[in-house]
Amino acid sequence: MCSSLTLRLPSNGPDTAAKAILNEVSFTMERGETLAVVGESGSGKSTLGLCLLGLLPKGLVPFVDGEIIFDRTNLIGLDEPSWRRLRGARISIIFQEPMTSLNPVMPIGKQIVEAIRVHRLMSKAAAWDEALALLKRVRIPDPEAKMYAYPGQLSGGQRQRVMIAMALSNSPDLLIADEPTTALDVTIQAEIITLLKQLRNDTGMALLFVTHDLTLVRSIADRVLVMQNGAVVEQGPANEVMQTPKHDYTRYLLACRPSGSKQPIPSGSPELLGVKNLTVNYTRSSSLFSKRSKTTALEGVNLSVKAGQTLGIVGESGSGKSTLARAILQLVSYDGQIRFAGQPVCKVASPGFIAFRKQVQVVFQDPYGALSPRMTIGEFIAEPLRAHFPELSQNERRHRVAELLEEIGLGRADMHRYPHSFSGGQRQRIAIARALVMNPQMLILDEPTSALDVSVQLQVLKLLRRLQEQHNLTYLLITHDLAVVSAMADEVLVLKDGREVERGATRQIMDDPQQEYTRRLVSAAMAV
């Protein structure tokens, strides 16, 4: 494949220059080769993928210059019937979020069969057998049962494997993997990378791997294409680009991984949060008339967090990390004891509980989903003040919001803007400001940087460090990124299947883990 692309947005008037989204992007790919396209959000990575699949909005197609040569055919200007024959058959894609790509009301097997029969004349029975073989090929556990399962019944890693199976269903010559591991645990991430490499070697397909994480490039790519503002700033063999980058932007991306370690808290700091023998059970039934079954999400978990300390909570999906956070926030029923600032946490809706929730706030993984699109960020940040401090005047609330916006690196004028007008990193800063508006003692950080570019991730982590030092905040950091834990946490709690596997100082856990499961997590993080 060869391409040389320029895409410009149409201008608003005769005197307005058109903005380039892609600017003379050129590269070649050979069969069996993996090309990693890296860069931050807005660099043009996903737009390039849309061009290669013929999925650009129709209004932008006339503004594309250049050519895409695929098997001696120029894809620019191809009509839609020709694209439909090509798309999904010879060029396939794996999207970043499989849950939004799969049909939630159709069994997995039927979705794969549909992808097969769209491009090939095949009976339903034959297509079903081939779909089952594909699930076995991507190593889905119990594939016969999974053929009848719905996407919501699968884990994140299993859903991504289903997407890979669908993309491979017609033996494509080119597979585009668009951020396929961003939201996955480190062990599952390593498994997906290994699977993609094996499938590439087995089929001889070309793999275009789109990512913002340069650490993944080391383990999968033959060559690297670095993009910034729609243009290619550097490309070459992966080892050469990673070890001796020539462009300042590439060096900047390589330097953006979290590093260093947190300053220890003063000796004698009091305990702020104590959890003793915490157990959470869920009950559910598979149908209206079946018996209810009990599932243990957490069993006998103990922890102690001191004022100003950061406790990192790590483990694979389903280990109980988020359930632990929900139990501390009194959002699920539990057995055991939870104490905050030396006092038992009161029941929901009691005066003591309201005081507790003022002191413990949450920063979620997806800031766009956490922000209200109908409210300006000033209204959104001030909302808790209206609920808990009705005696404050509008000017006092506005002054508090303005102070917080400046503290997180935004301006006072930004309080009148809506969430959609901010970048992902800025939205996460806004979510942090919302959590801080009540002057809490503790923040529960639920994967606060997993969906962000590496450079933005570093900025948010630096902000969290500064805020912790200035306000003596205590953090409960839930994450699957061990590099973030290493840079941010005093201690680490490792969970597996709802049980504590290992707990200790961060450096001890990272450098000399005692349990096999912890060693597997650390080695998986090193592998990618």
Q: Would you say residue 87 has pLDDT above 60?
A: yes
Can 33-64+79-254 and 271-333+346-527 be said to share one CATH topology? yes
Task: Report CA dihedral (466, 470, 475, 480) to the nearest 10 degrees.
Answer: 0
Segment among 142-151, 182-191, 379-388 with least mean pLDDT: 182-191
Percent of residues, the chain, with pLDDT higher than 70: 92
User: Is the CB of residue 373 less than 8 Å from the CB of residue 419?
Assistant: yes
User: Is the CB of residue 188 less than 8 Å from the CB of residue 317?
Assistant: yes
**In the predicted model, what is the mean pLDDT of the chain?**
86
- Choose the most confident range, by mean pLDDT, from 1-15, 72-86, 373-387, 447-461: 373-387
Q: Which helix (H) or strand (E) holds 406?
A: helix 394-407
| CB proximity list for 334: less than 8 A, separation 6 or greater | 278, 279, 280, 298, 327
As given in the structure block, the two tokens for residue 502 are: 């290992």
Residue 354, Cβ neighbours under 10 Å: how many? 13
Look at residue 4 in the predicted model and tell me its pLDDT: 56
Q: Which helix (H) or strand (E) holds 359?
A: helix 351-359
Q: Beta strand 64-70 with 73-74: parallel, antiparallel or unpaired?
A: antiparallel
Residue type, 502: E
- The span from the CA of 197 to the CA of 480, in Å, is 22
- The span from the CA of 274 to the CA of 304, in Å, is 5
Look at residue 19 in the predicted model and tell me its pLDDT: 60
Q: Look at the chain and count its residues.
A: 528
DSSP letter (8 states) at residue 3: E
Look at residue 336 in the predicted model and tell me its pLDDT: 93
Region 334-349 average pLDDT: 85
- The span from the CA of 302 to the CA of 500, in Å, is 8
Q: Would you say residue 171 has pLDDT above 70?
A: yes
Nearest to 310 by CA among 122, 492, 512, 174: 492
Q: Which CATH number is 271-333+346-527 given?
A: 3.40.50.300
Nearest to 53 by CA among 79, 36, 75, 31: 75
As given in the structure block, the two tokens for residue 172 are: 């494509």
- The span from the CA of 294 to the CA of 292, in Å, is 7
Segment among 47-51, 134-138, 180-184, 316-320 with least mean pLDDT: 180-184
Look at residue 528 in the predicted model and tell me its pLDDT: 56
Percent of residues, the chain, with pLDDT higher than 90: 46
Residue type, 140: I
**Cα angle value 118/124/125 (rounded, 5°):** 140
Phi, psi of 168 (to 5 degrees): -90, 0
Region 71-94 average pLDDT: 88
Q: DSSP readout, 316-330?
A: -TTSSHHHHHHHHTT
- The span from the CA of 322 to the CA of 325, in Å, is 5
Look at residue 62 in the predicted model and tell me its pLDDT: 63
Residue 358, Cβ neighbours under 10 Å: how many? 15
Look at residue 349 in the predicted model and tell me its pLDDT: 63
- The span from the CA of 393 to the CA of 385, in Å, is 10
User: Is the CB of residue 105 less than 8 Å from the CB of residue 93?
Assistant: no
pLDDT tens digits, one per residue of 348-406: 667 778 888 889 999 987 777 788 889 999 999 999 998 888 899 999 999 999 999 99
Residue type, 241: V
Kindly list the domain boundaries of the chain, sorted by start residue. Answer: 33-64+79-254, 271-333+346-527
| Strand arrangement of the beta sheet that strand 271-284 belongs to | 293-306, 271-284, 335-340, 343-344
pLDDT tens digits, one per residue of 488-510: 999 999 999 899 999 999 999 99
pLDDT tens digits, one per residue of 194-216: 888 988 998 899 999 998 877 78
Residue found by looking up tokens 């650390």 in the block: 522
Cα dist. 286→177, 291, 293, 317, 353 in Å? 35, 8, 9, 22, 34
Look at residue 353 in the predicted model and tell me its pLDDT: 82
pLDDT band at 193 (very low <50, low <70, confident <90, very high): confident
Question: What is the CATH class of 33-64+79-254?
Answer: alpha beta
Q: Would you say residue 2 has pLDDT above 60?
A: no
- The span from the CA of 367 to the CA of 446, in Å, is 11
